[in-house]
Amino acid sequence: MTEFVDKYRNELLLNVMPFWEKNSVDHQFGGFFSCLDRDGTVFDTDKFMWLQGRQIWTLSTLYNQVEENPVWRDMAEQGAKFILKNGRDAEGDWYFSLDRAGNPLVQPYNIFSDCFASMGLAALYKATGKEEYGKVAEDTFNRILERQHNPKGKYSKAYPGTRNLKGFALPMILSNLSLELEHIVGSATVETLIDEVIHEVMEVFYQPETGLIMESVNLDGSFSDTFDGRLVNPGHTIEAMWFMMDLAERRSDKALMTKCVDIALRALEYGWDEQYGGIFYFKDILNKPLLQLEWDQKLWWVHLEALVCMAKGWAYTGDPRCKEWFEKLDSYSFQHFADPEFGEWYGYLNRQGEPLLTLKGGKWKGCFHVPRALLKVYKTMETIPVYK
Amino acid sequence: MTEFVDKYRNELLLNVMPFWEKNSVDHQFGGFFSCLDRDGTVFDTDKFMWLQGRQIWTLSTLYNQVEENPVWRDMAEQGAKFILKNGRDAEGDWYFSLDRAGNPLVQPYNIFSDCFASMGLAALYKATGKEEYGKVAEDTFNRILERQHNPKGKYSKAYPGTRNLKGFALPMILSNLSLELEHIVGSATVETLIDEVIHEVMEVFYQPETGLIMESVNLDGSFSDTFDGRLVNPGHTIEAMWFMMDLAERRSDKALMTKCVDIALRALEYGWDEQYGGIFYFKDILNKPLLQLEWDQKLWWVHLEALVCMAKGWAYTGDPRCKEWFEKLDSYSFQHFADPEFGEWYGYLNRQGEPLLTLKGGKWKGCFHVPRALLKVYKTMETIPVYK
């Protein structure tokens, strides 16, 4: 695996991080620009809290895990300064977006803003030891736990009671978040949340008949034949599986590890576009027409999470199917998403694999999935080389 | 134009309406199924208020303008019965969607549900003379006027005051709605709303530098260099232009008519995909990356509204450019959207012009744009044949 260690480390440190270091800092108002065109030009100055928090996390994590580079720490801190000053409403909930100067644009209707703010500040606390970051990370985490059963609050458009579905995004992210905050909230909290998420993902959302994980199920775990209930997001399933693999490793649970590998491979086979290559963004489990007009597009994060998942599956278990899929995904991704000329990766390809948008960052894409995946792939292969 | 009169009348009466007559009525719970797959199979039973109201309008309008066919009137009435029983909350605002049995699913966050309910009931009142329909149409219209400056109410996610943009969808639809309710609300109300919408569309949202109409502008009418402010929706512009042409005709305003034709032609040239044909769904006026991942897709309603617009431009003014564009659009649309095998038209094509989804109806497509456009094209060419 040595070739991949070097390839992914070099891509991270030479082609991806320099793009963000050079182009994303707002030296006038603080915080990060995320709307960057192919060559790094800022094409819009709005600031989205998901991406502010995520970039703070990425920079801090690289500082914590790769190299104590003060450039990364200082960039993360200037981002933290901006969000701590402007990011929260009177209740301490995090806005969805701000304008360049930090004025709120969109209300805190989306609890994932809070998740990524907490995650970023927790990593920065680890990097700097400054109490303020740990304190706000923890307060935000507790507020998320309070809001978790009604995360959209008054902004929810669903009429209460008619159709009670539950989604697996929030339990997933909560257990991930608790791991990121283990140095702050303690292992007991983490273990409780892990018990819950393993049960939810592997037993409630997993459907044995199809071998797949649904995005939403009825409260009792049964299938809902509705637009939401029929939806499969292969990338999300695959991302969940590498996260579950880490939990299986943490607990030395071989049965769980095997099940994770099987589900991930099933989701890859199910999601792969045999005609043009790449993984579809969405599918309907009954092959009915989807609401998502972007269903056939190829998104960067889907492929990066799949690379992480297959790298971990390969390293943890030595399963040759994981090796094969890793190499297939590696080939597709570097051919279609990477941009050796300007750095960073394209985000959105059409079904045929051509860039649908020229952007490297936007409302939903920032300094996160690409560097995180490159880091995880090379660390996985470097530290757990079961098979060389 | 006789060939087109026959072609569009036959498509309406032989290929499109039979599809809805046969497949869309819910004989058990009342109302209409709109989620119909290629062959008319019901693939989902949720009921969306936009499409319930619009189908009532279409059926009633065909009854009023084409033929007093009791099948259409009775279908419209059973739909009206369903929405009058289930469609409104305690304030009289219309839900966005209901489940099959009529239980509310999504709250009244979207005022266009109210617009289409009012429009449908007003046409049904004309068809039947039954006071109840006229009364609810009028009450709903008045409630829309009350809500128009804060249409999303408590469901709005925008933080008040930071970025005040205005969109042209609501003024457009209000003046259209007032025309549809002229037999109920009277001509004085209509004329006032027409004055306002002509000013807004042709002077405020129209940008002389580009010759195009923006979806959103600052409150003073100036350009906003933001995601929303940069957005051009060529189909929406073109739809607005045939509506403005009708107002120009109503007022015998030749200068307005000429301006409408010029803007519509400009939007067509701007929106046309030279590589694959068809009109793009969205463009960014500064050619920056868009938020809309579906930007390059070819949507049914865009092409149908363009057909209506060029038919009217051709009939009202005799401009040969309108004739040329009409024929080009006619050729593209019948080749790519129409489905002679099962009736109705596909809704969503990929950039290359192939069906992206197999559906004939869904959450946003129902018995409306196809029949309305076919009706308007053939009526326009039949009744205003300036040039034969």
Is B357–A46 a contact, with Cβ atoms under 8 angstroms apart? no
Per-residue pLDDT of A41-81, as tens digits, reads 999 999 999 999 999 999 999 999 999 999 999 999 999 99
- pTM recorded for the entire structure: 0.96
Residue A363, chain B, CB below 8 Å: the answer is yes
CA distance B26 to chain A (A): 17
Distance, in Å, from the CA atom of A223 to the CA atom of A204, rounded to the nearest integer, reads 10
Kindly indicate the confidence band of residue B172, based on its pLDDT and cuts at 50, 70 and 90. Answer: confident
Mean model confidence pLDDT for chain B: 96
Per-residue pLDDT of A74-116, as tens digits, reads 999 999 999 999 999 999 999 999 999 999 999 999 999 999 9
Kindly indicate the confidence band of residue A181, based on its pLDDT and cuts at 50, 70 and 90. Answer: very high
Q: How far is CA B200 from the centre of its chain?
A: 19
On whether residue A178 sits in a domain, the answer given is yes
CA distance A57 to chain B (A): 24
Phi, psi of B46 (to 5 degrees): -60, 150
Among partner residues B163, B288, B363, which is closest to A105 by beta-carbon distance? B163
For a pLDDT cut of 90, what percent of chain B falls above it? 94
β-bridge partners, B106: A158, B97
Kindly indicate the confidence band of residue A169, based on its pLDDT and cuts at 50, 70 and 90. Answer: confident
**Dihedral sign, Cα of residue A372, residue A376, residue A382, residue A387:** negative
Is B227–A44 a contact, with Cβ atoms under 8 angstroms apart? yes
Q: Give contacts of B358 with chain A, Cβ < 8 Å.
A: 289
For a pLDDT cut of 90, what percent of chain A falls above it? 94
| pLDDT at residue A172 in the model | 86
DSSP letter string, A94-130: BPSEE-TTS-EEE-S--HHHHHHHHHHHHHHHHHH--
Instruction: Dump strand ranges (E) for chain B.
Output: 35-36, 42-44, 47-48, 97-98, 104-106, 165-167, 206-207, 212-213, 216-218, 231-232, 283-284, 298-299, 348-349
Is A104–B351 a contact, with Cβ atoms under 8 angstroms apart? no
On whether residue A26 sits in a domain, the answer given is no
On whether residue A32 sits in a domain, the answer given is no
Radius of gyration, alpha carbons of chain B: 20
Among partner residues B288, B350, B357, which is closest to A289 by beta-carbon distance? B357
Residue B69, chain A, CB below 8 Å: the answer is no
Polymer length in residues for chain A: 388
| pLDDT at residue A316 in the model | 94
On whether residue A124 sits in a domain, the answer given is no
Residues 314-343 of B with CB under 8 A from A: none
Distance, in Å, from the CA atom of A354 to the CA atom of A337, rounded to the nearest integer, reads 9
Mention every residue, 6+ apart, whose C-beta is less than 8 A from residue B209: none
Kindly indicate the confidence band of residue A117, based on its pLDDT and cuts at 50, 70 and 90. Answer: very high
Q: Give contacts of A157 with chain B, Cβ < 8 Å.
A: 96, 106-107, 109, 155
Mention every residue, 6+ apart, whose C-beta is less than 8 A from residue B245: B257, B260, B261, B309, B312, B313, B316
Tokens in use for B213? 């109409």
Q: Count the domains in chain A.
A: 1
The residue of chain A nearest to residue B363, with distances taken between CA atoms, is A291
Phi, psi of A161 (to 5 degrees): 100, -25
Mention every residue, 6+ apart, whose C-beta is less than 8 A from residue B59: B72, B73, B75, B76, B79, B367
Distance, in Å, from the CA atom of B43 to the CA atom of B40, rounded to the nearest integer, reads 9
Q: Give contacts of A297 with chain B, Cβ < 8 Å.
A: 293
Chain A interface, mutation test: which of B45, B227, B292, B293, most A Cβ atoms within 10 Å? B293
Per-residue pLDDT of B280-310, as tens digits, reads 999 999 999 999 999 999 999 999 999 999 9
Distance, in Å, from the CA atom of B226 to the CA atom of A73, rounded to the nearest integer, reads 31
| pLDDT at residue A388 in the model | 45
Distance, in Å, from the CA atom of A299 to the CA atom of B29, rounded to the nearest integer, reads 41
Is A351–B351 a contact, with Cβ atoms under 8 angstroms apart? no
CA distance B104 to chain A (A): 6
Is B350–A297 a contact, with Cβ atoms under 8 angstroms apart? no
pLDDT at B154 exceeding the cut of 70: yes
Residue B296, chain A, CB below 8 Å: the answer is yes
Shortest CA distance to A40 belongs to which of A61, A15, A20? A20
CA distance B58 to chain A (A): 24
Helices A169-180 and A111-128, packing angle to 10 deg: 10
CA distance B226 to chain A (A): 7
Residue B275, chain A, CB below 8 Å: the answer is no
Answer yes or no: are the C-beta atoms of A28 and A345 closer than 8 Å. Answer: no
Among partner residues A35, A103, A226, which is closest to B44 by beta-carbon distance? A226
Kindly indicate the confidence band of residue A241, based on its pLDDT and cuts at 50, 70 and 90. Answer: very high
Shortest CA distance to A181 belongs to which of A241, A151, A139, A243? A139
Kindly indicate the confidence band of residue A168, based on its pLDDT and cuts at 50, 70 and 90. Answer: confident
Is A43–B288 a contact, with Cβ atoms under 8 angstroms apart? yes
Shortest CA distance to A54 belongs to which of A83, A29, A28, A11? A83
Is B227–A46 a contact, with Cβ atoms under 8 angstroms apart? yes
| pLDDT at residue B169 in the model | 87
Q: Give contacts of A158 with chain B, Cβ < 8 Å.
A: 105-107
Is B155–A155 a contact, with Cβ atoms under 8 angstroms apart? yes
Distance, in Å, from the CA atom of B16 to the CA atom of B103, rounded to the nearest integer, reads 29
Distance, in Å, from the CA atom of B97 to the CA atom of B47, rounded to the nearest integer, reads 6
pLDDT at A208 exceeding the cut of 90: yes
Alpha helix segments (H runs only) across chain A:
2-10, 17-23, 49-65, 70-86, 111-128, 131-147, 169-180, 182-185, 187-199, 234-250, 254-271, 300-317, 320-336, 369-383
Q: Give contacts of B46 with chain A, Cβ < 8 Å.
A: 226-227
Answer yes or no: are the C-beta atoms of B44 and B367 closer than 8 Å. Answer: no
Question: Which residue range is the domain that position B266 belongs to?
Answer: 168-357
Has the ipTM of the complex gone over 0.90?
yes
Q: Give contacts of B155 with chain A, Cβ < 8 Å.
A: 155, 157
Distance, in Å, from the CA atom of B379 to the CA atom of B127, rounded to the nearest integer, reads 19
CA distance A43 to chain B (A): 7
pLDDT at A1 exceeding the cut of 80: no
| pLDDT at residue A303 in the model | 98
Shortest CA distance to A312 belongs to which of A239, A255, A253? A239
Per-residue pLDDT of A279-314, as tens digits, reads 999 999 999 999 999 999 999 999 999 999 999 999
Residue A159, chain B, CB below 8 Å: the answer is yes
3-state secondary structure of B338: strand
Residue B163, chain A, CB below 8 Å: the answer is yes
β-bridge partners, B284: B231
Cα distances (Å, whole numbers) of residue A225 to A163, A205, A288, B130, B139: 11, 14, 10, 38, 36
| pLDDT at residue B388 in the model | 45
Mean pLDDT of A213-231: 96
Tokens in use for B340? 């002679």
Number of A–B residue contacts, CB under 8 Å: 99
CA distance A232 to chain B (A): 16
Is A96–B157 a contact, with Cβ atoms under 8 angstroms apart? yes
pLDDT at B386 exceeding the cut of 60: no
| pLDDT at residue A2 in the model | 80
Shortest CA distance to B185 belongs to which of B141, B243, B145? B141
Distance, in Å, from the CA atom of B42 to the CA atom of B359, rounded to the nearest integer, reads 10
Residue B255, chain A, CB below 8 Å: the answer is no
Mean pLDDT of A252-268: 97
Residue B155, chain A, CB below 8 Å: the answer is yes
Among partner residues B35, B159, B289, which is closest to A37 by beta-carbon distance? B289
- Angle at CA of residue B296, ends A100 and B44, nearest 5°: 100
Is B293–A293 a contact, with Cβ atoms under 8 angstroms apart? yes
Is B297–A293 a contact, with Cβ atoms under 8 angstroms apart? yes
Distance, in Å, from the CA atom of A299 to the CA atom of A351, rounded to the nearest integer, reads 10
Phi, psi of A21 (to 5 degrees): -60, -40
Residue B46, chain A, CB below 8 Å: the answer is yes
3-state secondary structure of A29: coil
DSSP letter string, A182-215: HHHH-HHHHHHHHHHHHHIIIIIIEETTTTEE-S
Is A105–B289 a contact, with Cβ atoms under 8 angstroms apart? no
Q: Give contacts of B86 with chain A, Cβ < 8 Å.
A: none
| pLDDT at residue B185 in the model | 95
Shortest CA distance to A237 belongs to which of A258, A207, A196, A209? A207
Q: Give contacts of A155 with chain B, Cβ < 8 Å.
A: 155, 157
B256 or B173, higher pLDDT: B256
Per-residue pLDDT of B135-147, as tens digits, reads 999 999 999 999 9
On whether residue A160 sits in a domain, the answer given is no
User: Could you tell me the CATH number of the domain that includes residue B226?
Assistant: 1.50.10.10
CA distance B103 to chain A (A): 7
Q: Give contacts of A105 with chain B, Cβ < 8 Å.
A: 158-159, 162-163
